[in-house]
Structures are given as C-alpha cells and as structure tokens.
C-alpha cells in the first residue's frame, strides 16, 4: 500500500484537513481502502471530522448509499450532521466545481473576462467558441496537429460542417473538466463517439460505450461519478506531461553577469508551450532561469490575478495585439527564489495541483507562496513541515516560529509552541527562547487586561496536554502551589516547575500574561 495513502488515512483519523488536502493533491485514489477495508471517507465519518468529510466529497470520494461502503459510511458516522451531509450527497455531482484544480480549468472555458484565450473554433456563420492552445496541446494534441496550428501559427480552427456547434461545445467542456456527462443526450452519442475516437480521448469513448444502453439511473449515476474522477486525474497527468515536455524542457538559463539574449528570448516565447507570459528568477548562485508560462493558470495566485486585472502598467503589455505580434516581448516577471526548485514547485502546483513538496524546500515554498498570494500552497507547504521528522535537524524551531508569524500560518505557530513545550528543558535557558517570548509580546497590538502573549498561551496549552493536566487540576495547583510533596503525589509538580521557569522569564522581561 502506498505511503501517501497510509498518511491520508491517518490524517482522516486525526482530522488534519490541511495535510489531507496536500496528500489528495498528489493524485491519491480516494475510494481505495486500507488493510482493514476502511476508506478515507469512512475513517473521517467514523471519527467525526465534518470539514474533512466535506473535503473528501468535494475531491471525489463516493458515498453511494446503495453500496456497502456508502452505507457503512452513513451508518458509522459519529454525528448526525455528518450523516446528514452524506445522505444529502448527490453522487452525480462527484468531483464537481468544488475541486480547486478542476474548478480553475473549467473556469478558463466559462469565464472570458481576463481574455487569456488564444484560439478560436469557427463553425461558419460567425458562430465561434474560444479556448487555449496550451490546453489543446496537453489534452487534444491531435486536433492542433490536424488543424496545422503548429505549422502556420494560426489562431483559428475551422470545424467540419457536419459537427453541430452544440455537440462540439460539450466535447470542449469535457476537455476543460466541466461535469457534462449527465448532459449528454442519446442523439449526441454518435458524433461524440466519432470525436473521441478521432482525437484520442479514450475515457470519454469508454464512458459513452458503457453508458449508451444503461437504463438504471442509479447505475448510470455511479458510472458518471467514477469517470468524472478518472477524467480529472487523467487530465492532471496530461498537464504534468505538458509541463515537463514544454515548460521545464524549454527553460532558458544563463548567468546574470551576461545580458539578455534577445534571439533566445524570442525563440522561448514561440516554443512548443505557446506561452503568453515569461517567469524569471535568479537563484543563490547567480544563475537566471526563464520559464514559458500562461497567465490562464498563474492567476490561481492572487498576485498575478491582481496584476493583470487592475489598471497596472503590466496589463497594457498583455493586449491581444501585443501577443499576436511575435516581435513584441511577452511580459517578463521576476519572482524572488532561493533555488529554482521552489519556483518549479509553484509552476507544477498551478498547472496540475501538485503539492509533492520535499521538506528541504518547504520553507522557501512558503516564502514564495506568500509573495504570490497563494494561501493554499502556503498551507500545503506548512503541512509538510509539521509532518517532517528531519526538518528540525537542519532548521531551528525559532526560524519556523518566525516564519509562522511572518507568513501568518497558525498551524506552524501551534507546531512551534508544541515542540517548545514538549522539549522545554532544551530551550528554557537560551537567548532565542527569551527573544521569541519578547517578540510574541510585541505582536499584541494594544495592551489590555485580557491580552495574552500568544506563544505563552499556546505553550501552556501544550504543557497541559504533555502532563495530562485538566482544569480541575489547575484549581488544585493554584491552592497548593508551594506544597511540593502534594503536587508530586497528584502528578502536577513537573507542570508547575515548567510554568515557574516560564514565569521567571516573563518577570525578567517585565511582561505579564
């Protein structure tokens, strides 16, 4: 059994939504089962993690009440609210627009406001549809080849007269991951089968063949849910291949000590990726890399979305006229990176939702994600840090705490506080610990009687957890704080000693909790 699936099952037991989201993005089959025949959805339902149940359903977990596993999830749900969510769930809408990757690809076809389309499909009588060359390159390369787009750089594909616009639109919607399987009419099957055969879309072809003569609505609905999930994962694989073969493979690299090579730049912007934007960065060794990219996917990060949707100077360089004139330079944006690995992690994330982040790069990914305003990537990288056993061998816990404050990641704040609490003897006498307490106190915007120092409050919580102390114990502790023998007899002495050590630092710094 794959390690990632085992980790997902554990996250479903503990309710770790952020880590589950990161693991799901790697392409795990959510409807698989562990060695005890438990699916992730069953584990999340059984353990009462409502937000995780919603996440799994949104990402494609199937809860078919007519099947054993679906009924088991419903009847095993810990709470009535989870049971209601599962009962109300419509399996025909599995992997719908709530999935971030599928949602964004779908919206590229639905929402034309940013004007990222660069190719049109003509049906005569001025009836057209529009799309993106890079999507076709990734998912329908035979269509581009047949239309001779690669040879003459045309922006128009003329569709045969015997193909109705409405049916070809369904075909394109399928390519753009819009859930349309339930919309296909019996009269559409013949043309769609021909299109899927001609342009090599095997999943659509298989679905049409299997569903064509199905009569039972429940059976057909289950088939739709299964294929919609498979289609989404297959599209991710296609975009993964596209990124590898057309973006990473075409990267332009040169030392910063030399000038831009205009010939190489022009060659890059007319490469097989069909880019409309160039992303550049300089690593710690002084080497610059430039990647051919697409605004259509980069706008998953608010940094790019804001830059090109507001009246900034960058927008004027992105007009259709500019993009059609190959002599004009495409927009070239530079991003701050320590290594190229984190930039490529960002590229892979926006194109196909990959969050396979090694702990060695997690901190740099968080910094880059903060810069480009991608909260989800930032959260996924933070989840890697909290799950890593090696990271504290190379990076100080105080660096992680500082990053948590800087990037506003509460999960990392708690991770740092818990580590400090559970290993207090290693840090209590260090200057870094004292500095961290002081910095935490300075984060309080206005001092009031109810103000608390976040780091101390969090550490106190984890010290309570460490020593198994509850609120009733605290009342006893307050009344018998000086009675060492009594505190030892009820197991509160170690907790009391740790809190006294922390309070001594607070007094020395003239701070109050």
Confidence (pLDDT) at 472: 65
Highest average pLDDT, of 304-308, 313-317, 318-322, comes from 304-308
Where along the chain do its domains lie?
Answer: 3-89, 100-236, 250-376, 396-508
**Which comes out higher in pLDDT, residue 207 or 115?**
207
As a residue count, the chain comes to 513
Confidence (pLDDT) at 395: 92
**Which comes out higher in pLDDT, residue 95 or 492?**
492
pLDDT band at 148 (very low <50, low <70, confident <90, very high): low
b (16+ CB within 10 A) / e for 482-512: eeeeebeeeebbebbebbeebeebbeeeebe
- 3-class secondary-structure state, position 255: strand
Kindly report the number of other CB atoms within 10 A of residue 206's CB atom: 13
Residue position matching structure tokens 């909290």: 386
- 3-class secondary-structure state, position 158: strand
Confidence (pLDDT) at 407: 94
Range 100-236: architecture per CATH: 2-Layer Sandwich (3.30)
How much is the pTM?
0.79
State yes or no: pLDDT of 126 exceeds 90. no
Kindly report the number of other CB atoms within 10 A of residue 59's CB atom: 23
Report the chain's mean pLDDT, rounded to a whole number. 83
As a CATH number, domain 250-376 is 3.30.710.10
Confidence (pLDDT) at 99: 62
Which helix (H) or strand (E) segment is 22 a member of?
helix 17-24
CATH classification number, 3-89, choose in 2.30.30.30, 2.30.30.100, 1.10.150.240, 1.25.40.20:
1.25.40.20
Residue-wise pLDDT tens digits, 9-35: 999 999 999 888 888 877 787 888 888
Question: Whole-angstrom Cα distance, residue 15 to residue 49?
Answer: 5
State yes or no: pLDDT of 320 exceeds 70. no
pLDDT band at 94 (very low <50, low <70, confident <90, very high): very low
Confidence (pLDDT) at 264: 81
Confidence (pLDDT) at 178: 87
Confidence (pLDDT) at 91: 47
Average pLDDT over residues 193-219: 89
State yes or no: pLDDT of 136 exceeds 80. yes
Highest average pLDDT, of 136-150, 332-346, 478-492, comes from 332-346
Residue-wise pLDDT tens digits, 379-396: 989 989 998 888 999 999
CA distances from 475 to 21, 266, 500 (A): 40, 73, 16
Instruction: Report whether 157 contacts 119 (CB < 8 A).
Output: yes
pLDDT band at 60 (very low <50, low <70, confident <90, very high): confident
Query: Given this chain, do its domains 100-236 and 250-376 carry the same CATH topology?
Result: yes
Question: Whole-angstrom Cα distance, residue 8 to residue 52?
Answer: 11
State yes or no: pLDDT of 87 exceeds 60. yes
Instruction: Report whether 181 contacts 201 (CB < 8 A).
Output: no
């Amino acid at each position: 059994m794959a390690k990632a699936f085992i980790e997902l099952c554990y996250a479903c037991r503990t309710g770790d939504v952020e880590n589950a989201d990161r693991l799901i993005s790697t392409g795990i089959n959510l409807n698989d089962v562990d060695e005890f025949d438990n699916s992730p959805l069953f584990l999340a339902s059984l353990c009462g993690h409502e937000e995780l149940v919603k996440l799994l359903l949104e990402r494609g977990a199937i809860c078919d009440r007519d099947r054993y596993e679906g009924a088991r999830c419903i009847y095993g749900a810990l709470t009535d609210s989870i049971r209601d969510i599962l009962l109300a769930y419509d399996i025909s809408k599995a992997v719908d627009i709530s999935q971030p990757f599928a949602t964004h690809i779908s919206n590229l076809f639905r929402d034309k406001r940013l004007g990222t389309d660069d190719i049109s499909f003509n049906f005569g009588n001025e009836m057209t549809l529009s799309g993106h060359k890079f999507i076709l390159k990734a998912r329908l390369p035979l269509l581009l080849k047949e239309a001779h787009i690669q040879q003459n750089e045309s922006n128009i594909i003329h569709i045969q007269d015997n193909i109705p616009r409405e049916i070809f639109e369904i075909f394109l919607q399928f390519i753009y991951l819009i859930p349309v399987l339930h919309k296909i009419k019996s009269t559409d099957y013949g043309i769609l089968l021909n299109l899927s055969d001609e342009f090599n879309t095997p999943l659509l072809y298989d679905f049409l063949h299997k569903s064509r003569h199905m009569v039972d609505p429940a059976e057909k609905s289950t088939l739709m849910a299964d294929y919609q999930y498979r289609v989404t994962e297959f599209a991710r694989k296609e975009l993964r291949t596209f990124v590898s073969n057309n973006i990473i493979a075409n990267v332009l690299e040169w030392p910063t000590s030399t000038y831009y090579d205009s010939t190489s730049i022009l060659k890059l912007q007319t490469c097989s990726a069909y880019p409309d934007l160039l992303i550049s960065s300089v690593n710690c060794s002084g080497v610059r890399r430039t990647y051919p990219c697409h605004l259509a996917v980069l706008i998953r990060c608010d940094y790019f979305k804001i830059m090109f949707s507001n009246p900034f100077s960058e927008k004027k360089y992105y007009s259709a006229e500019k993009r059609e004139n190959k002599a004009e330079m495409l927009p070239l944006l530079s991003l701050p990176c320590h290594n190229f690995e984190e930039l490529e992690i960002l590229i892979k994330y926006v194109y196909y939702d990959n969050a396979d982040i090694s702990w060695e790069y997690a901190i740099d990914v968080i910094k880059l994600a903060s810069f480009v305003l991608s909260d989800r990537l930032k959260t996924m990288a933070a989840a890697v840090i909290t799950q890593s056993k090696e990271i504290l061998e190379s990076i100080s816990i105080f660096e992680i705490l500082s990053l948590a404050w800087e990037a506003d990641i509460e999960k990392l704040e708690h991770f740092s506080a818990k580590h400090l609490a559970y290993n207090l003897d290693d840090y209590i006498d260090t200057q870094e610990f004292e500095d961290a307490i002081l910095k935490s106190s300075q984060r309080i915007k206005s001092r009031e009687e109810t103000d608390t120092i976040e780091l101390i409050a969090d550490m106190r919580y984890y010290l309570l957890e460490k020593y198994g102390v509850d609120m009733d114990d605290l009342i006893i502790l307050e009344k018998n704080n000086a009675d060492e023998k009594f505190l030892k007899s009820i197991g509160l002495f170690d907790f009391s000693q740790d809190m006294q050590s922390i309070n001594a630092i607070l007094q020395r710094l003239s701070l109050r909790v």
